[in-house]
C-alpha cells in the first residue's frame, strides 16, 4: 500500500488563518515584552549573594520625564567606581564610633541630627537656604495661645520654634503663620522636662548654640531674644535666665531683676540660706521656668535630668555642676526681663483625688520629686567617692 502524503497546498483555509493569527499575536507579545522589560523592578529579584559583589547596579530614574536606565558594570570597570562595597564587613570594628555603631565605617556615621525641616523633592543639598542658630521650646496648652503668640514674636528667624503640647491640641495652631513652620510634639498631660528628656537629646540639638526651655506663662513685653543673647555672650554665661519682674510673686532674690545692671551673678539671701556665697541660691543659680543653656552646658544637664522625675524640681540647685566656675558662668540678665504670670494651666491637668483640687496633687508631687532628686544626687556622690573616685586635689598636676 502506498504512503499517503498531504500537500501544504491542501490545508484548509481556517487552519491557515489560525496559523497567521497565532504568529501575529506572538510577534506583538514579544515586541511589548521587550519594550516593557527595562521597567521591571530588579530590586525585587533575589540574586545569589555570591553574585552581588561581582556587579554594581546603578539605577537612574528621572521620575518626571518617565525615562529609566539600568547599567550593569562588571569587575573590569572597578577603576570607574573607587568606592565599591566590600563583601567582608566583619573586618570593620571602630570602638570610637557611637555605641552600637562600631561595625560601621566612620565616614558613614551620622551621630547628630537636628529639627530642620526637609523637602520631599529636589536635591537634599539644596533643602536648607538658612539654618537657625538657636532653639526655643515652649510647653503649651491651647488656652495660652495668645500668650505664646506674643512670646514667639520676640524670637527672630534665627530660632527654630518647638512646641510641646500637653493638651493634645497640636493641630489647632495654624491660625498663626509661624506655627506652620514650627515643630509640634504632642503627648497628653506631660511636663516640659518629660519632653526635654525624650526630644532634646544633646545629639539632636547639637546644631544650636543656645537652647531656651521655657514655660507658657511668661510675659515678654520687655524682652528681645537677640539682644538677650548678645548680653549672654558678652558676660560669658553658659546657663542663664532673664530677670523677673520684682513685684510678681518672687521666690528667690537671685532671679529678681535689678534695674541698674545688665547682668548679675550673685545676690544676698535670707540669713542662713547660703552656706557659701558662691553656691545656690546666692550664686550659680537660675530657676527652671525660663532657663537658657549653651550647647555645651545642655549636654551635661540633659544627662542629669531623671527619667521619672518629670517636674524638674531641684534641677535649678544642681545645674551648677555642669559649668566651671559656676558662679561666673551662671547668671541673670537684668536688661532683658520677663514677668512670670503664674497661670496654673499645667497644674489643672492633674487629677482630683481624696477631695483635693487637681493642682494640689501636682504641687505635692513637685515637692516629693525635689526631695527624691536631692536624695539621689547625694547618694550618687557618696557612692562615687566611696568607690575611690574623684580628683586627688593634693596629688593632681593640673593647673
User: Residue ranges of the domains in the chain?
Assistant: 134-344
Quote the CA–CA distance of 243 and 220 in Å, as a whole number. Answer: 11
Q: Does position 114 have pLDDT exceeding 80, yes or no?
A: yes
Give the mean pLDDT of the chain. 83
CA distances from 243 to 193, 212, 215 (A): 21, 14, 15
pLDDT of residue 391: 65
Mean pLDDT of 362-375: 94
Query: According to CATH, what is the number of the domain 134-344?
Result: 3.90.550.10
207 and 113 Cβ atoms separated by less than 8 Å: no
pLDDT of residue 89: 64
pLDDT of residue 246: 86
pLDDT of residue 160: 98
Mean pLDDT of 230-240: 98
Quote the CA–CA distance of 183 and 163 in Å, as a whole number. Answer: 6
Beta bridge partner(s), residue 241:
332
CA atoms within 13 A of residue 201's CA, in its CB half-sphere: 8
Mean pLDDT of 51-63: 43
Mean pLDDT of 335-364: 79
CA distances from 207 to 63, 156, 180 (A): 33, 17, 21
With bands split at pLDDT 50, 70 and 90, how would you rate the model's confidence at 307? very high
pLDDT of residue 5: 45
297 and 208 Cβ atoms separated by less than 8 Å: no
Least confident of 3-7, 237-241, 312-316: 3-7
130 and 208 Cβ atoms separated by less than 8 Å: no
Enter the pTM of the model: 0.77
Beta-carbon count within 10 A of 326 CB? 20
Quote the CA–CA distance of 29 and 23 in Å, as a whole number. Answer: 10
Output the DSSP codes for 269-305: -STTS-SSTTSTTTBS---SSS-EEEHHHHHHHHHHS
pLDDT of residue 399: 39
Please write the tens of the pLDDT for every residue from 146-175. Answer: 999 999 999 999 999 999 999 999 999 999
Q: 231 or 273: whose pLDDT is higher?
A: 231
CA atoms within 13 A of residue 274's CA, in its CB half-sphere: 18
Give which of 199, 218, 194 is closest to 290, Cα–Cα.
Answer: 218
Q: Does position 198 have pLDDT exceeding 60, yes or no?
A: yes
Amino acid at each position: 500500500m502506498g504512503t499517503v502524503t498531504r500537500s501544504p497546498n491542501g490545508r484548509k483555509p481556517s487552519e491557515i488563518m489560525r496559523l497567521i493569527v497565532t504568529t501575529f499575536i506572538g510577534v506583538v507579545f514579544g515586541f511589548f515584552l521587550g519594550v516593557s522589560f527595562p521597567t521591571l523592578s530588579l530590586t525585587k529579584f533575589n540574586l545569589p549573594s555570591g553574585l552581588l559583589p561581582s556587579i554594581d547596579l546603578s539605577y537612574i530614574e528621572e521620575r518626571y520625564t518617565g525615562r529609566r536606565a539600568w547599567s550593569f558594570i562588571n569587575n573590569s570597570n572597578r577603576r570607574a567606581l573607587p568606592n565599591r562595597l566590600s563583601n567582608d564587613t566583619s573586618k570593620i570594628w571602630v570602638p570610637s564610633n557611637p555605641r552600637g555603631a562600631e561595625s560601621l565605617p566612620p565616614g558613614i556615621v551620622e551621630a547628630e541630627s537636628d529639627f530642620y525641616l526637609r523637602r520631599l523633592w529636589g536635591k537634599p543639598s539644596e533643602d536648607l537656604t538658612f539654618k537657625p542658630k538657636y532653639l526655643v521650646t515652649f510647653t503649651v496648652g491651647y488656652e495660652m495661645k495668645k500668650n505664646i503668640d506674643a512670646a514667639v514674636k520676640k524670637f527672630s528667624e534665627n530660632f527654630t520654634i518647638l512646641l510641646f503640647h500637653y493638651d493634645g491640641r497640636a493641630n489647632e495652631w495654624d491660625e498663626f503663620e509661624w506655627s506652620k513652620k514650627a515643630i509640634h510634639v504632642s503627648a497628653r498631660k506631660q511636663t516640659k522636662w518629660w519632653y526635654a528628656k525624650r526630644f532634646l537629646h544633646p545629639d539632636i540639638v547639637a546644631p544650636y548654640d543656645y537652647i531656651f526651655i521655657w514655660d507658657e506663662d511668661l510675659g515678654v513685653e520687655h524682652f528681645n531674644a537677640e539682644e538677650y543673647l548678645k548680653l549672654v555672650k558678652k558676660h560669658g554665661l553658659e546657663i542663664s535666665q532673664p530677670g523677673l519682674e520684682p513685684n510678681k510673686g518672687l521666690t528667690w532674690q537671685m532671679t529678681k531683676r535689678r534695674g541698674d545692671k545688665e547682668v548679675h551673678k550673685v545676690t544676698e539671701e535670707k540669713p542662713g540660706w547660703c552656706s557659701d556665697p558662691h553656691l545656690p541660691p546666692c550664686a550659680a543659680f537660675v530657676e527652671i521656668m525660663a532657663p537658657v543653656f549653651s550647647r555645651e552646658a545642655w549636654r551635661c544637664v540633659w544627662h542629669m535630668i531623671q527619667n521619672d522625675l518629670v517636674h524638674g524640681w531641684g534641677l535649678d540647685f544642681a545645674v551648677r555642676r555642669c559649668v566651671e566656675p559656676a558662679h561666673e558662668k551662671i547668671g541673670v540678665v537684668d536688661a532683658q526681663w520677663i514677668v512670670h504670670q503664674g497661670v496654673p494651666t499645667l497644674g489643672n491637668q492633674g487629677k482630683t483625688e481624696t477631695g483635693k483640687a487637681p493642682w494640689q496633687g501636682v504641687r505635692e508631687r513637685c515637692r516629693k520629686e525635689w526631695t527624691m532628686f536631692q536624695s539621689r544626687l547625694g547618694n550618687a556622690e557618696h557612692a562615687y567617692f566611696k568607690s575611690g573616685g574623684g580628683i586627688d586635689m593634693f596629688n593632681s598636676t593640673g593647673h
